[in-house]
Structure 1
Amino acid sequence: MGTRRESAVLVSVEFGNRKGPQLRTASLARSAALLSESADDSGLDATATRSFDFEASIEEFRELVLSAGASILAEVVQRRPKPDPATLLGSGKIDEIHGIVASSHADVVLFDYDLTPTQLRNLEDLLPCRVVDRTQLILDIFARHARTREGQLQVELAQLEYMLPRLTGRGRSMSQLGGGIGTRGPGETQLETDRRRIQRRLLQLREELEGVRRVRAQQRQRREAVPVPAVALVGYTNAGKSTLFNTITRAGVLESSRMFATLDPKLKAIQLPSRRKVLLSDTVGFIRDLPHTLVTSFRATLEEVQKAEVLVHVRDCTSPMQEEHKAEVEKVLGELDVLSTPRIEVLNKIDLLPEKEREALLASGAVAVSGKTGLGVEALMARLDQALVADPIVEQRFQIPQSEGLVLAALGAGALIREREFDGNLVRMTVAGPASLIGRYRRFWKS
């Protein structure tokens, strides 16, 4: 895309009489009040609720576009009973978009919808610029943020799987090398080669990623040889996972308000209040209608989620769409077959709530934190201690000779000393710590 930011016309669509979810946060109550100042005092009607849901989706789409590095020239909204199978939109709306593009010299029209190959081809024939749908836009953002070789392979695999059924008749967008949003990543392989060459490249990518997966499995086996439970942060994109990860681990990973800033997983060992160690991982954020090709392609990365003993679901408590975001995260967790994994729901960004709401949330017993300020993080660590069952905390009496300095040091570093007394050359103490550590020194147990 070069240094010049691409200019885009955004198209958002709503079909049928879709009713948005009944969102129950305090933030929604404030937003709903703004939307219905002239409405009846008894509450928000179905139309207003649906309108709010659609408006929130449009706002999320804007954030996606900005994350892709484009500038927004104009926005177009289409509401109709059902999509046109040939062009998605009605002919009048297409004429309107054509006029906007022609007068503004926009580079691309971005649709907040997944277009079929036929719709994409027809729209490119009717409009004087490139057309990119929601999935292609998300893939482009992933391509921008992939830093490791593994991440780049995963993005390219997803892009080619998306592009393969759309090769026929792509016209303008297929004739440009790296010409902007939707063309970033595999380059010429994506754009102008035949299906057989793309199939060969897909096979090669899958083999390379399988190699990455084997290496990751070997690394995990080495970690599991010394039992250290794994905990994964999951959540909707921009829920504040990386900020919370940094506060807990002081790892200094990238924090950004842009979507999908974290693409390659980060792992770091941390110590819980019980003194036992766990491996904490920061993972890619989920989003509404996350392309299935990405979930499949990022299998190696998302294995950190699949192998975790506990999932920490980080939620933005200030978002008016947090219940919908929770449902989308759970949908992806279902695809990964980890819905049965123990999960801690964490309400993040409480520092942005009014003081009374913040105090009420903390008093309710919810795990509420501020990844930015560290408020509530100690309570989260204690909750993690309770949730981990693979290497449970046990309490044991020991009688250890003072000459066993290494044993005393290991227990002091990895467990909590409840009581300790000295009797000649012996140290008698009560210790609470991980069963794996306590069992290692069974010969010094005192019944």
Structure 2
Amino acid sequence: MAGAWLLGSQSSDTPDEPPRAVLIAVVQDDRADDGAPGTPTSLRELERLADTDGLVVVDTLVQGRDRPDPATYVGSGKAAEVAAAVERCRGQVVIADGELTPGQARNLQDAVGVPVVDRTALILDIFAGHARTSEGRLQVELAQIAYQLPRLQGAGRTMSRVGGGRVVGGAGMGVRGPGEMRLEIQRRRLRRRAAGLRERVAELGRRRDRTQQRRTRNQVPSVAITGYTNAGKSALLNRLSGADAPARDVLFATLDPTVRRVTAQGLRFTLTDTVGFVRNLPHQLVEAFRSTLEEVTRADLALHVVDASAADALGQIATVREVLREIGAGEVPELLVLNKIDIASPETVAALRRAYPDALRVSALTGAGAGELRDALADRLREVTRTELAAS
């Protein structure tokens, strides 16, 4: 079911009706639209994330304040407005455009009467629905456990009060109650599960390393396709290689690396499609998918694909480069390519070209610029190889 991890046992009024979501955000009144939580750019992206997860957004509420309320994220007055919106729109889940503490989520959920989750939980739910390979599913589960553990600990403060502080049958004040003991058992089980998942992911990573070593011995250069989610990376992979990797107009359509061979100017190399990035990418996902993301760190060249039709393409470029630095791929040579020029406005493309004059222009959909891009990849790979040889 769409949004199953978010909604728990709840379901829509009818089986065919998508679950209804109410979005909420906190933003400083004087904050520029830099894509930060609560800004129009971030809220548009949150709505797209909800749509990708099979939810329909029925209302959006924004609270202007210096910082999120420590108790309910939006404050008691706005929480009452959210509850009214949930009742009016028959909302089934409230999604915050930011990261909630366990206490904020619990208090706001008590106030509105439906599950309350944050942007991180929404992205995790999308990843859970899109993972196809065994490694992808293991990585998603690992990220979910990392997200759940501190929330169990937060819930423990409430559950431990169930019998935990009473003197029953002569027991002292320090004796743990049944709620706290149940949560400790849950925590131990989750930690054991996470340890097993990490070992299985590490083994899959070692296998990938062995494959990479064979490619290196065979002197096959590698290109990792990277970029913001929905920039058209998979479509470009298909266009350049003649492959048929899944390419859909949704966020995070690709979670599992797809490798194809390409030949240009007599040079044979591999193209690897990787998971797309997004602002405020949950750190749990960065850690869980680190072995997959490291496809970029091992590549000879990063093909950074940009959606030239996006309203905040410049901000998306900055986000991708920030994540690449975080995973240790910031020094990998980069070839920037502006995709979707068939639908991008000339003004937007011109602005991007001014900021990045060396960027190539292509359309994965129509094939415009694909030949020039193949040649540019071959040229850059030869250049990188010469540089590495000179340095050795």
TM-score (norm 1): 0.72
Does residue 76 of structure 1 match 2:61? yes
* 1:282 and 2:266 are equivalent in the alignment: no
AA matched with 2:322: K
TM-superposed CA distance for 1:15, in Å, is 2.8
The equivalent residue for 2:125 is 140
Distance 1:362 1:114 in 2: 35
> 2:166 maps to which residue?
none
Q: Distance in 1 between matches of 2:108 and 2:74?
A: 9
> 1:366, CA displacement in angstroms?
3.4
Matched, 1:231 2:244: no
Distance in 1 (alpha carbons) for counterparts of 2:194 and 2:248: 32
Q: Give unpaired runs (5+ residues) of structure 1.
A: 22-49, 175-190, 394-434, 436-447
The equivalent of 2:255 in structure 1 is 263
Q: How does 1:111-150 map to 2 (within 5 A)?
A: 111-150=96-135
Aligned to 2:171: none
Alignment correspondent of 2:321: 330
CA spacing shift, 1:354–1:328, aligned 2, 3 Å: closer
Contact 2:308 2:348 in 1 (8 A): no
Shift of 1:353: 3.4
Indicate the residue corresponding to 1:110 in structure 2.
95
* Paired letter, 2:319: E
Secondary structure of the equivalent of 1:138? helix
CA change 1:214–1:324 in 2 (3 A) is: same
In structure 1, the partner of 2:336 is 345
The alignment status of 1:86 with 2:71, answered yes or no, reads yes
User: In structure 2, what residue type is equivalent to 1:114?
Assistant: E
Matched, 1:305 2:318: no
* Offset at residue 20 of structure 1 (A): 3.3
Equivalent pair of 1:121/1:169 in contact (CA under 8 Å): no
Residue in structure 2 matched with residue 210 of structure 1 by the alignment: 202
How big is the shift at 1:104?
3.0
Tell me the residue number matched to 1:6: 19
**Does the residue aligned with 1:260 lie in a helix, a strand or coil?**
coil
Deviation at 1:338, TM superposition (A): 1.4
Q: How does 1:144-183 map to 2 (within 5 A)?
A: 144-168=129-153
- Deviation of 1:122 after TM superposition, in Å, equals 1.5
What residue in structure 2 maps to residue 383 of structure 1? 376
| Alignment partners' CA distance in 1, 2:386 and 2:375 | 13
Preserved contact between residue 314 and residue 352 of structure 2 (Cα < 8 Å)? no
- Match of residue 373 from structure 1: 366
Matches of 2:347 and 2:23, distance apart in 1: 39
For residues 74 and 356 of structure 1, do their structure 2 counterparts lie closer, same or farther at Cα, with a shift above 3 Å needed?
A: closer
Task: State the one-letter code of the partner of 2:336.
Answer: E
Aligned equivalents of 1:57 and 1:299: distance in 2?
A: 25
> Aligned partners of 2:205 and 2:258: how far apart in 1?
16
C-alpha contact (below 8 Å) 1:233/1:314 kept by paired residues: yes
Q: Which moved more, 1:227-236 or 1:3-12?
A: 3-12
Runs of 4+ in 1 over 3 A off after TM superposition: 168-171, 353-366, 389-393
Amino acid at match of 1:135: T
Aligned length: 347
Provide the rounded CA distance (Å) in 2 between the counterparts of 1:359 and 1:75.
Answer: 33
CA separation of 1:192 and 1:120: change in aligned 2, threshold 3 A: farther
TM-aligned CA distance change 1:353 to 1:168, over 3 Å: closer
Q: Is the 8 A contact 2:33 2:40 kept in 1?
A: no
Bigger mean CA deviation after superposition, 315-324 or 98-107: 98-107
User: Does structure 1 conserve the Cα–Cα contact (< 8 Å) formed by 2:26 and 2:67?
Assistant: no
1:47-102 CA-to-partner distances (Å, cap 9, x unmatched) read: xxx99x92122111100000111111211111112211121112110001111212
Q: How far did 1:213 drift? A: 1.0
- With 351-360 and 218-227 compared, the bigger mean Cα shift is at 351-360
Q: Which consecutive unaligned segments of at least 5 residues does structure 2 have?
A: 3-14, 160-182
Taking only aligned residues, the RMSD between alpha carbons, in angstroms, comes to 2.7
User: For structure 1, which segment, 283-292 or 347-356, has the greater mean C-alpha deviation from structure 2 after superposition?
Assistant: 347-356
**Is the partner of 2:229 in helix, strand or coil?**
coil
Give 2:82's aligned residue: 97
- Amino acid in the other structure paired with 2:272: S
How far apart are 1:193 and its partner, in Å? 6.0
Mapped partners of 1:361, 1:110: distance in 2: 33
Secondary structure in 2 matching 1:199: helix
User: Structure 1, residues 392-416: CA drift from partner, whole Å, max 9, x if none?
Assistant: 59xxxxxxxxxxxxxxxxxxxxxxx
Task: Give the conservation status (yes or no) of the 8 Å contact 1:146–1:152.
Answer: yes
1:295 paired to 2:286: yes
SS of 2:39's partner is helix
In the alignment, the residues of structure 2 paired with residue 151 and residue 353 of structure 1 have an alpha-carbon distance, to the nearest angstrom, of 32
Q: Is the 8 A contact 2:233 2:273 kept in 1?
A: yes
Pair 71,362 (structure 1): closer, same or farther in 2 beyond 3 Å: closer
Normalising by structure 2, report the TM-score. Answer: 0.82
Q: 1:383 to 1:127 in 2, by over 3 A?
A: same
Q: Do the aligned partners of residues 304 and 18 (structure 1) sit closer, same or farther apart at CA in structure 2, a change above 3 Å counting? A: same
SS in 1 for 2:286: helix
For 1:299 and 1:89, locate their aligned partners in 2 and report how far apart those are by CA, in whole Å: 33
Report deviation, 1:117. Answer: 1.6
Q: Between 381-390 and 206-215, report the one with greater CA deviation.
A: 381-390
Q: Shift in Å at residue 357 of structure 1?
A: 7.5
Partner of 2:176: none
